DNA sequence: AATGAATGAGAGTTCATTCAT
DNA sequence: GATGAATGAACTCTCATTCAT
């Protein structure tokens, strides 16, 4: 049997190297951001960490800003995908289940690659990055909004507000853990409390329909 | 009659002027940060906005970093003072009162000078700034921890964890409003929900003692 | 006997493509020079305009400088050929005829492809290009010198000086038209005046022999 | 009587140094252009030749282009001033006088600082520089046009055309000398011939009024 | 022959910081 | 204290050139 699988690194002569290079560059960016901070993140440093030349960085990204946006986008796409997936899976479930799964999923993706998450927190916000963040955050709230509307044991008068408060209340604690203000070891306890927090919140703002 | 008026730069010989200058510089820093972003925040720009020379900026701050730390510190001091004040005032109160006042106080200080709050969000994090932020955040959690311990109608098994989750859950929603992901107009509704959120949370994790 | 001559790339099957390619590249160079200026003339831009890859440009020219020299040389060859042709044709003619035909021929070749002429004007001079220009200009002066010596109605004491002044006096006005300082519409009037100018000049410096 | 004269280097503490620096930079630019050519003219090289830091160059010129434009402008201003001065002085004179003085003045200014003139010839033309050159050239033609109109012994039907041809016919020969195609030693002979050339030209296109 | 991704030296430019006035 | 011209290290980005395919 020959060569059955050949996933991700599919390679036609021309494309393969590029794909790899792009990924290597993105990864190197995160590493530099993490180990040296944003102020020290120069395109040269990224290239050298990636093991390529500066020129190669510019072959794929027109400028430093674009590179940062790409890094952010890739990370947030992971997050939003996890959130949207869980929202899909939990449709029609009870408030308790919804709270539990949404919180777990969110905390998990963010802490799964703490380096990447941390690296992004170190970035200064600006027009370009804000836009990416805002649009993905909004997408997440929409997903949660829909999910709430499908809830089996309650109705919410202002589901979008509830979605805002709920997602918002997750962002902060996770940030505290990523920045080290709260030790990562407490992540499980924090997660458990966040589930409680959200569950009780949903109960208090939802009109029971059972 | 000589020289009756002598506005803004009211000055008793030596100090007055400096105080004013320092404030003007700090304020100018926030304005530049806000209007042009961190990348465009140069000491020259700050000086020009403040109406002084670059040299003067360096008279008060040894370097750019120190200037930024000063801006952050000044802002966070306002926040922590408000929080510590409310924690002091609410000692011995019920969970409901505690949640209500802490949430209100926090949201209020942050939204009271949205420009300053926003400006700080635009900053990249780094060792120096992280340290200031971490220590002040921790101080806030301690204050809340103490407050919880004095609560009249409940006991908390792990008050520091509760403090973390509680403060954490406020950070996110406020950030969403500052960055514009959530319109500032919804601040009242969001605050109301946050009060609810915290109240219910405290109820669910506290052991009633009445 | 093999390998007799193989000048200007005349060719057999495989070579054909090259001729076309070379021309396309040279033409593309002029276009880029014209539309974007010398500063923006990159080998990549030339290649793309020519519809070939950068590599192909380097197949024919060892470096950018050589490409520029080739463009200049090709253009100046046209000019010198026209001038030498007219000098040949007018041998033994009168001063009036000589002035008329030389001026007309020169102005005509230069304005015949104004884009190419203009493109070359946009180039910075440097050792390599200066050399080409100097040697071709000198060749032109020699041709005119010879022509003057053959003049039927006058003798010139210092024909080379006369050739210099005569060719020199044509260069400027044509340049003014090419650069747009003088509108191209006036080219006929300018030409007529240049003929007059040269005719009278020759008359005044030549010793009549009739 | 104190301090009667104090021309060019007028110096109030603040201005003096700047004026000097600016001049030094402009001069250094010409030197670099001359000794290394346009391709090698980098802002760093200019600064180092001027004995200042790169930063200082940028203190006075926003970018390299502006520096070049300044060099060109300064040089052409000298030229135009000389031309305008002679045009003023010769008002009402005869064709012969006009031709003689205009030609002499032009050739003289250009050859007076052959290095500067040569340096500018080495520059690639582009939008910015073209504009300066075109406008100053036009100014020169206007001055000559006016002068011709005041000529005491002739009337010109199309003085602007005559001005174009006349100035044009000077540009070329001077360029040939500057570029070395014609040795500078022949400058006197060339000048003499140019005077003849212009004189005869004016005679042939002017309608005598005596 | 043709391609174009990769290279990396080097260019233009910025800006934190100093210091003579 | 205040000023701002001067500095120059360091950054972002470009582009001539190469070479494996």
Q: Is pLDDT of C105 > 80?
A: yes
- What pLDDT does residue A210 have? 81
pLDDT at position D156 over 50: yes
The verdict on A36 and A124 lying in the same domain is no
Round to whole Å and give the CA distance between D195 and A139. 81
Q: What is the mean pLDDT of residues D127-155?
A: 95
Count up the domains in chain D and report the number.
2
Tell which of B42, B193, B205 to mutate to test the A interface (max A CBs under 10 Å). Answer: B193
- Crossing angle (nearest 10°) for helices D187-205 and D159-179: 170
Do A72 and A173 belong together in one domain?
Answer: yes
Quick check: D171 and C175 CB within 8 A?
Answer: yes
In the prediction, which pLDDT does A8 show? Answer: 34
Q: How many CA atoms lie within 13 A of D168 on its CB side?
A: 29
Vertex B13, ends B10 and B14: CA angle to 5°? Answer: 100
Positive or negative, the CA dihedral C133, C136, C140, C141 is positive
Burial class (CB in 10 A: 0-12, 13-18, 19+), C99: buried
Same domain for D199 and D160: yes
Q: Are residues A71 and A166 in the same domain?
A: yes
As ranges, strand F nucleotides with an atom below 7 A of a protein CB are: 1-21
For residue A111 the two structure tokens come to 């802490």
How far apart are alpha carbons C66 and D184 in whole angstroms?
Answer: 29
State the Cα–Cα distance between residues D205 and B81, nearest whole angstrom: 92
Q: What is the pLDDT of residues B163-181, one digit of tens each?
A: 999 999 999 999 999 999 9
Chain D nearest CA to C195, separation (Å): 10
Last residue of a domain, one of B27, B43, B62: B62
CB-neighbour burial class of residue D99 (10 A; exposed 0-12, middle 13-18, buried 19+): buried
Given a contact cutoff of 8 angstroms between Cβ atoms, the answer to whether D201 and D166 are in contact is yes
Within-domain flag for A10:
no
Would you say residue C146 has pLDDT above 50?
yes
D48 touches strand F (CB under 7 A): no
D100 and D29 share one domain: no
Where is pLDDT greater, at A210 or D173? D173
Residues in chain D with CB shorter than 8 Å from the CB of C37 are: 124-127
Answer whether residue B119 is part of any domain.
Answer: yes
Q: Specify whether the CB–CB gap between B43 and B67 falls below 8 A.
A: yes
Q: Which residue of A has its CA nearest to B140?
A: A181
Q: Chain C to chain D, count of Cβ pairs less than 8 Å apart?
A: 156
Asked whether D and B share 3 or more beta-carbon pairs under 8 angstroms, the answer is no
Domain shared by A53 and A105, yes or no: no
| Residues whose CB is less than 8 angstroms from the CB of residue C135 and which lie 6 or more positions away in sequence, other chains included | none
Q: How far is the CA of D2 from the C1' of E4 (A)?
A: 74
Give yes or no: residues C84 and C139 share one domain.
Answer: yes
Note whether B133 and B141 are within 8 A (CB): no
User: How many Å apart are CA B129 and CA B38, to the nearest integer?
Assistant: 14
Residue C64 CA to F12 C1' — how many Å?
Answer: 25
C-chain CB neighbours of D168 within 8 Å are 169, 172-176, 182, 190
Q: For the segment C27-83, what is each residue's pLDDT rounded down to a tens digit? A: 999 999 999 999 999 999 999 999 999 999 999 999 999 999 999 999 999 999 999
A94 touches strand E (CB under 7 A): no
Instruction: Determine the distance from the C-alpha atom of residue D26 to the mean position of all C-alpha atoms in its chain, rounded to a whole number.
Output: 15
Query: According to the model, what pLDDT value does residue D6 have?
Result: 34
Are A201 and B205 inside 8 Å of each other by CB?
no
Among the partner-chain residues D125, D173, D179, the one whose CB lies closest to the CB of C122 is D125
* DSSP code string of C45-96: HHHHHHTS-HHHHHHH-SSHHHHHHHHHHHHHHHHHHHHHHHHHHTTT--HH
Residues on chain D touching C161 (C-beta within 8 angstroms)? 186, 189-190, 193
B8–chain A nearest CA distance, Å: 34
Structure tokens that stand for C105 in this block: 């021929």
Check whether D185 has a pLDDT greater than 60. Answer: yes
CA distance D172 to D199: 17
Both A135 and A53 in one domain: the answer is no
Name the residue in chain D with its Cα closest to that of C160.
Answer: D182
The CATH number that applies at residue D54 is 1.10.10.60
- Domain containing A155 — which CATH number? 1.10.357.10
pLDDT the model gives residue D12: 39
B70-81: buried (b, 16+ CB within 10 Å) or exposed (e) per residue? Answer: bbbbbbbebbbe
Quote the pLDDT of residue B4.
37
DSSP A124: P
Q: How buried is D40 (Cβ within 10 angstroms: 0-12 exposed, 13-18 middle, 19+ buried)?
A: exposed
Tell me if C90 sits within 8 A of C101, measured CB to CB: yes
**Mean pLDDT of the C9-24 span:** 60
Per the listing, tokens 């110096």 go with D11
What is the mean predicted confidence (pLDDT) over D7-20? 44
Q: Which of A141, A140, A153 is nearest to A199 (CA)?
A: A153
Which 3 state secondary structure label does DSSP give B28? helix
pLDDT in tens, A187-210: 999 999 999 999 999 999 999 888
Extract the runs of DSSP E, i.e. beta strands, from chain B.
Answer: 154-156, 206-208
Name the nucleotide nearest C60; use CA and C1'.
E1
Whole-number Å distance between alpha carbons of C171 and C177: 10
Question: What DSSP element (H or E) covers D163?
Answer: helix D159-179
Smallest CA–CA distance, residue D17 to chain C, in Å, is 33
Domain assignment of residue C72, yes or no: yes
Give B91's DSSP letter. Answer: T
pLDDT confidence bin for C19, thresholds 50/70/90: low
Chain B residues touching A171 at Cβ < 8 A = 171-173, 175-176
**Contact flag B182-A204 (C-beta cutoff 8 Å):** no
Q: For the whole model, what pTM was predicted?
A: 0.88
User: Which residues 19-78 in chain A have a CB closer than 7 A to strand F?
Assistant: 40-44, 54-55, 58, 62-65
State the nucleotide closest to D65 in CA–C1' terms. Answer: E12
| Weakest-pLDDT range from A151-155, B126-130, C198-202, D48-52 | B126-130
Q: Is the dihedral of CA A191, A197, A201, A202 positive or negative?
A: positive
- Taking residues A70-86, report their average pLDDT: 96
Cβ–Cβ below 8 Å for D138 and C181: yes
The distance of D182 to chain C (nearest Cα, Å) reads 8
Task: Please state, in angstroms and rounded to a whole number, the distance separating the CA atoms of residues D49 and D67.
Answer: 15
Q: What confidence tier does A156 reach under pLDDT thresholds 50, 70, 90? A: very high
Neighbours of C6 (CB within 10 A): 10
- Look at residue A9 in the predicted model and tell me its pLDDT: 34
- Mean pLDDT of all residues in chain C? 90
- Interatomic CA–C1' length for residue B120 and nucleotide F4, angstroms: 29
Query: Which stretches within chain C are classed as H helix?
Result: 13-36, 43-50, 54-60, 64-89, 95-112, 114-121, 127-149, 159-178, 187-205
- Residue B185 is given by DSSP the state G
Domain annotation covers residue A3: no
In angstroms, the CA C152 to CA C143 distance is 16
Question: Is the shortest CB-to-strand distance from A179 to strand F under 7 Å?
Answer: no
Report which residue is nearest nucleotide E21 when distances run from CA to C1'.
Answer: D13
Protein residue nearest nucleotide F6, by CA to C1': D56
| Residue B53: pLDDT over 60 | yes
Q: How confident is the model at residue C5 (pLDDT cuts 50, 70, 90)?
A: very low
Tell if the CB–CB gap between C169 and D164 is shorter than 8 Å: no
Specify the pLDDT at position A150.
96
pLDDT, position B3: 40
pLDDT over 60 (residue C6): no
Among candidates B134, B180, B200 on the partner chain, residue whose Cβ is nearest the Cβ of A181: B134
- C167 and C197 housed in the same domain: yes
Q: Give domain status of residue D6, yes or no.
A: no
pLDDT exceeds 90 at position B194: yes
Strand F and chain B: which residues 33-52 have CB closer than 7 Å?
A: 52
For residue C102, is it within any domain? yes
By C1' distance from the Cα of D18, the closest nucleotide is F5
Nucleotide nearest to C58 (CA to C1'): F17
- Nearest chain B CA: its distance from A178 CA (Å): 12
Q: For residues D81 and D168, what is the distance between their CA atoms, to the nearest angstrom? A: 18
pLDDT of residue A18: 55
Chain B contact probe: residue of A124, A159, A204 with most B CBs at under 10 A: A124
Answer for A62: CB within 7 Å of strand E: no
Which of C95, C117, C129, C168 to mutate against chain D (most D CBs within 10 Å)?
C168
Q: What are phi and psi of A28, to 5 degrees?
A: -60, -35
Whether A74 is covered by a domain: the verdict is yes
- Of B37-41, B191-195, C1-5, C106-110, the range with the lowest mean pLDDT is C1-5
Tell me how close the Cα of B186 comes to any Cα of chain A, in angstroms. Answer: 8
CA atoms within a 13 Å half-sphere pointing along the CA-CB vector of D181:
28
* Nearest nucleotide to B58, CA against C1' atoms: E17
In a domain, B3, yes or no: no
User: pLDDT value at position B5?
Assistant: 36
The answer to whether the Cβ–Cβ distance between B126 and A121 falls below 8 Å is no
The residue among A12 and C168 whose pLDDT is bigger is C168
User: Pairing between strand C154-156 and B206-208?
Assistant: unpaired
Q: Are residues C116 and C189 in the same domain?
A: yes
Check whether residue D23 and residue D125 sit in a common domain: no
C126 CB below 7 A from strand F atoms: no
pLDDT of residue C20: 84
Q: How confident is the model at residue D19 (pLDDT cuts 50, 70, 90)?
A: low
Q: Verify if strand F has an atom below 7 Å from the CB of B56.
A: yes
Residue B149 has pLDDT above 60, yes or no: yes
A168 CA → E4 C1’, Å: 47
Whether the predicted pLDDT of B12 surpasses 50: no
Cβ neighbours around A81 below 10 Å, total: 11
Q: Is the pLDDT of residue D130 over 80?
A: yes
Mean of pLDDT over chain A = 90
Q: Nearest residue to E8 (CA, C1')?
A: A53
Q: Band of the pLDDT at B17, cuts 50, 70, 90?
A: low
pLDDT band at C184 (very low <50, low <70, confident <90, very high): very high
Q: Tell me the HSE value of B50 on the side-chain side, using a 13 A CA sphere.
A: 26
> What's the mean pLDDT in A177-192?
95
Contact indicator for C165, D121 with CB cutoff of 8 Å:
no
Same domain, B110 and B163: yes
- The minimal CB distance from B175 to the residues A123, A171, A181 is found for A171
| Model confidence at C15: pLDDT above 90 | no
Judged by CB atoms closer than 8 Å, whether chains meet at D196 and C204 is answered as yes
pLDDT value at residue C191: 97
Domain range for A140 is: 65-208
């Amino acid at each position: 049997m020959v060569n059955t699988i050949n996933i991700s690194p599919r390679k036609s002569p021309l494309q393969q190297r590029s794909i790899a290079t792009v990924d290597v560059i993105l990864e190197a960016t995160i590493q530099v951001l993490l180990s040296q901070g944003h102020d020290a993140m120069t395109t040269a440093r990224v290239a050298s960490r990636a093991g390529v030349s500066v020129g190669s960085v510019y072959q794929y990204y027109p400028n430093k800003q674009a590179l940062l946006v790409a890094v952010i986008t890739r990370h947030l796409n992971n997050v939003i995908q996890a959130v949207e997936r869980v929202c899909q899976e939990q449709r029609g479930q009870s408030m308790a289940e919804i709270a539990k799964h949404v919180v777990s999923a969110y905390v998990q993706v963010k802490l799964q690659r703490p380096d990447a998450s941390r690296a992004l927190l170190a970035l200064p916000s600006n027009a370009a990055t804000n836009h990416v963040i805002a649009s993905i955050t909004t997408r997440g709230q929409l997903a949660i909004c829909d999910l709430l509307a499908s809830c089996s044991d309650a109705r919410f008068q202002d589901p979008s507000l509830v979605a805002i408060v709920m997602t918002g209340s997750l962002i902060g604690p996770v940030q505290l853990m990523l920045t080290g203000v709260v030790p990562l070891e407490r992540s499980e306890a924090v997660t458990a409390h966040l589930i409680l927090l959200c569950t009780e919140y949903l109960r208090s703002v939802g009109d029971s329909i059972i």
